[in-house]
Amino acid sequence: MLFKKQFLFVYALLALVACNQKNPKQNPKDRKFQFEQIKNIKYYEVRRTFANGIAFNEIGFQQKPEWEIRFLSDTTVQAYSPTINKMLNFDLIFSHEGVYNFAREWFRVKSISKDSLLLQRLEVNAKRIANDVRSEVFMKFYSEAYIKKLKTTVNELRKPRKTDSIYVQERARLINTNIYDSTKFFAATHPVQFVSKSKIISIKKVSVVSDLENKTASYDYLYPEYEVNINPAYKDFVHTISAIVDQKGNIFVYKFTATDDYRENRKKVLQGILDVYLKKLVKIKPGSTLGFDHSSVIVLDLIGKSN
């Protein structure tokens, strides 16, 4: 009987402790961050960077600030949709330790105040946060009132910083000194441009953006592709190749499909097409990033018709 009473006492004590424990999953007041304190304040994203504080990574991908958000409560947030040009309401779903989901994205809240927010954008798969560069994107927001206090504009704050320019300039120098070194390839945010000087050749840029393949607008400068039509050409042909355009606008064959026995001969033929048609009949402007011209890799769909 004494053992039974002791058991019941311990059980009741544990139940009481459990009831008094904080439960951030159920109660927003028990969480580290409360959004009620910044309720209805509109924030604009003014800076987005990788973990090193730079907006570019080693392959030339640029992080661009574009979000606008307003927290309505600890469970609801508004985010701007550029597609329909209005703010939309989303559930603010708490996960754990400052991690939230809203607008189909995962974030870790780093800091909040009436002037600014700092969010870490996360890559989450199968309920696990990816422990790599995909989860090392940081988004800085300023409130509308704070931006006015700074006597500046959102567009001005969103411009690349000096640290970005220094980084890009160095990357441009590295690839320009060795255009075939794939470890130094750097995509141009302003891709190569072609202007035809002859009626027999036309070149158009092909968009590779695809929702099905999860290819965003950034793919159009990371992997620029062009359709080149030549009519008349010396013969009928269709070739898809990778080419390098250096900082001076010179163009060279980089990758193509061929068996080992015919590889050298095929390369000469392809370079001949570039030399005869593109170098002579097209003005080629090299790709550039933040005003720095640099070598970059492009894809060319070469289509020739003999009549």
Mark whether 41 and 68 lie in a shared domain: yes
55 or 8, which is more confident: 55
Q: Are residues 27 and 99 in the same domain?
A: yes
Q: Which of 162, 193, 211 finishes a domain?
A: 162
190 plus 299 within the same structural domain: yes
Q: Are residues 155 and 181 in the same domain?
A: no
Assess contact for 47 and 65: CB atoms under 8 A. Answer: yes
Query: Are residues 157 and 216 located together in one domain of the fold?
Result: no
- Domain range for 189 is 177-304
| Average pLDDT of the residues in 93-109 | 89
> In the predicted model, what is the mean pLDDT of the chain?
89
Residue ending a domain, among 103, 133, 162, is 162
Residues 38 and 93 grouped into a single domain = yes
- Rounded to whole angstroms, the Cα distance separating 216 from 55 reads 17
> Would 168 be classed as within a structural domain?
no
User: Does 157 reside within a domain?
Assistant: yes
Q: What is the pTM of this model?
A: 0.86
Same domain, 248 and 182: yes
Specify the 3-state DSSP secondary structure of 123. Answer: coil
Output the CA–CA distances (angstroms, integers) from residue 220 to 101, 169, 256, in the order listed. 28, 22, 20
Supply 107's token pair.
């974030």
Percent of residues, the chain, with pLDDT higher than 70? 90
117 lies in a domain? yes
Rounded to whole angstroms, the Cα distance separating 61 from 96 reads 30
Count how many domains the chain has. 2
In a domain, 8, yes or no: no
Q: Same domain for 120 and 195?
A: no
118 vs 123, higher pLDDT: 118
What pLDDT was estimated at residue 7?
46
Pairing outcome for strands 137-143 and 282-285 = unpaired
Whether 4 is covered by a domain: the verdict is no
- Mean per-residue pLDDT for 212-227? 90
Read off the pLDDT of each residue in 262-279 and give the average, rounded to a whole number: 96
Identify the pLDDT of residue 16. Answer: 44
Residue 1 placed within a domain: no
Q: Are residues 118 and 212 in the same domain?
A: no
Q: Is residue 238 pLDDT above 90, yes or no?
A: yes
CB neighbours of residue 260 within 10 Å: 6
One domain for residues 128 and 259: no
For residues 169 and 22, give the distance between their C-alpha atoms in angstroms, rounded to a whole number: 51
pLDDT band for 29, please (50, 70, 90 cuts).
Answer: low
Query: Do 184 and 154 belong to one domain?
Result: no
Please check whether residues 92 and 192 belong to one and the same domain.
no
Q: Which of 162, 189, 223 is the last residue of a domain?
A: 162
CATH assignment at residue 74: 2.40.128
Structural domain includes residue 10: no
Residue 58 in any domain: the answer is yes
